[in-house]
Structure 1
Amino acid sequence: MLPTNNAVNGVPSDATMAPNPSPSSAAAALGARPLVLIVEDVDVSASLLCVQFRKLNCIPHRAENGQVAIEKMYLVLMDLHMPVMDGFEATKIIKSSSDCNIPVVALTSDTREVNYRRCTEIGFDECLTKPLKADQIKELLAKYVPGHTSSD
């Protein structure tokens, strides 16, 4: 995801991450710091929650309301072949548990047709070959991140 660097009262508002499908996921079991989206319109409440989640070794992010939360979950770039949980399985979970239609773009160096077919069946929005070039990244941002403008 592509975090912004905005903050409200020191509370990050960069809520650009995919939802964590389950606290018992393999990543959590391996000690990864969970990303927690706090959707709260009261600055003091959001700040207190962020402090508490940081103390629990989480990475809190803030959105001021539900619409902002959904709009800030822009884009997932997903490698297909990874240990523990591959991109196919992770995308199945994201696509089946998300009401906000987060775009997921497959990234792979394995160009076999079987991968492209599987990506389509699972529901990836696109399947691209690594490495991505700068112009491809700009195109993805223009296509999937509402209102994004490139700084160059």
Structure 2
Amino acid sequence: MDQSLVDRMWEYLNAGLAMDVEGLDALYDPGFENVRFDEEGRVVTLTKDQFMARFRALRDQGMKVGESLDDLSLLATSVYDGHGSIIVRRVKDDVPVLYNFVWRRQDGRWTTLVREFTFHKDITDLVRMIESQSSPT
């Protein structure tokens, strides 16, 4: 495993755990997208703005995205064409969630997170939330 990519990933994960919104904002590339999909083939893509709005709302409500990183495993890294992927497994409510985080590499260092591909067993609630936000009121 590429230790420098693993170290950068831990920086990101710890910023999320601490709800360091400014730190997270700096880690996400301006063109960041989170592509979430499930076993039924449903797909939702969230932009950086949508992602950051969620973090800000949680922080402003005094909430966190988690209490610890103990349920997380970094499984593999792959470095290619100025990018690096790190595969992560996390267990939420006894259900595994799988991630492929894609980082940009510039001048020999990992700079920003450009993509996050997330496999969930079921994203029905997320699909409903997105549909309700896009429905006319």
TM-score (structure 2 length as normaliser): 0.23
Larger RCO of the pair (alpha carbons < 8 Å, separation 6+): 2
Which has the greater radius of gyration?
A: 1
Structure richer in strand, relative to its length: 2
TM-score (structure 1 length as normaliser): 0.21
